[in-house]
């Protein structure tokens, strides 16, 4: 009998380290997980996340980023071939086009290290500290064709301490990311 019967097929797009990928793989391997990871795509051949995938025997593919439409067309083919139900971006550093989102016609979600809509884009922790914010956090949201802008699925807030640096905040928020990404997927898949 097919072991993963009933599980949603997830593909994950990465560009780098892959610590969120690791947390999603960990969740996918828990007894009652709702997902099976069918494919990891990286636009960066040197991404550590590719090693994370191969260590866990998750299928991965490097697609060279020649240009947006070439990358997206090749990705689309693979995502469809693997019957992907949901795409998760995990440290994927490119913006997907409207056309890609439409053609895929499956939900795409992303994790971002700030309390969106605050601090879209890069250097979120630096900006939060420089602005003397009292809180920061992480957000999982639906992807649209504008940077870090789609509907929020789940957000978790933490206090920024006076003693926090960019690095310490990054470390704390990354831990939160690893917790909320699986939770956000569960929330999305179960409509809760």
Smallest separation, CB 157 to ligand GRF (Å) = 15
- Among residues 112, 125, 141, 178, the one annotated as catalytic is 112
Q: Which span (16-24, 34-42, 61-69, 183-191) binds ligand GRF, by CB under 6 A? A: 16-24
**Chosen residue from 10, 12, 13, 20 binding ligand GRF by CB under 6 A:** 20
Which C-beta is closer to ligand GRF: that of 73 or that of 165? 165
41 near ligand GRF, judged by CB under 6 A: no
**Chosen residue from 112, 125, 141, 172 binding ligand GRF by CB under 6 A:** 112
Cβ-closest position to ligand GRF = 91
Which C-beta is closer to ligand GRF: that of 31 or that of 167? 167
Smallest separation, CB 58 to ligand GRF (Å) = 14
**Contact predicate 35/10, CB 8 Å:** yes
Phi then psi for 166, rounded to 5 degrees?
Answer: -55, -45
The CB-side HSE value for 12 (13 A sphere, CA atoms) comes to: 30
Smallest separation, CB 172 to ligand GRF (Å) = 11
- DSSP-assigned states of every residue in 87-149: EEESS--SPPPHHHHHHH-S-EEEEESS-TTSS-SS-HHHHHHHTT-SEEEEEEEE--SSTT-
**Contact predicate 112/141, CB 8 Å:** yes
136 near ligand GRF, judged by CB under 6 A: no
In whole angstroms, give the CA distance from residue 149 to residue 54. Answer: 31
Where on the phi/psi map is residue 161: left (φ > 0), alpha (ψ -120 to 50), or beta?
beta
- Catalytic residue status for 112: yes
Binding site for ligand GRF (CB under 6 A): 16-20, 49, 90-91, 111-113, 174, 177
Catalytic residues: 112
């Amino acid at each position: 009998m097919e072991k993963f019967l009933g599980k949603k097929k997830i593909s994950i797009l990465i560009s780098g380290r892959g610590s969120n990928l690791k947390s999603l793989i960990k969740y996918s391997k828990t007894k009652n997980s709702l997902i099976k990871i069918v494919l990891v795509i990286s636009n960066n051949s040197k991404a550590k996340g590719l090693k994370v995938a191969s260590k866990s025997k998750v299928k991965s593919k490097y697609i060279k980023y020649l240009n947006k439409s070439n990358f997206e067309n090749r990705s689309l083919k693979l995502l469809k071939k693997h019957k992907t139900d949901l795409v998760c971006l995990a440290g994927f550093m490119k913006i997907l086009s409207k056309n890609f989102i439409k053609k895929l016609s499956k939900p795409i979600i992303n994790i971002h290290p700030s309390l969106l809509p605050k601090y879209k884009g890069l250097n979120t922790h630096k900006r939060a500290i420089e602005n003397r914010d009292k809180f920061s956090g992480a957000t999982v949201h639906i992807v649209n064709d504008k940077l870090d802008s789609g509907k929020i699925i789940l957000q978790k807030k933490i206090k920024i301490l006076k003693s926090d640096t960019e690095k310490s905040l990054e470390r704390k928020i990354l831990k939160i990311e690893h917790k909320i990404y699986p939770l956000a997927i569960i929330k999305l898949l179960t409509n809760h």
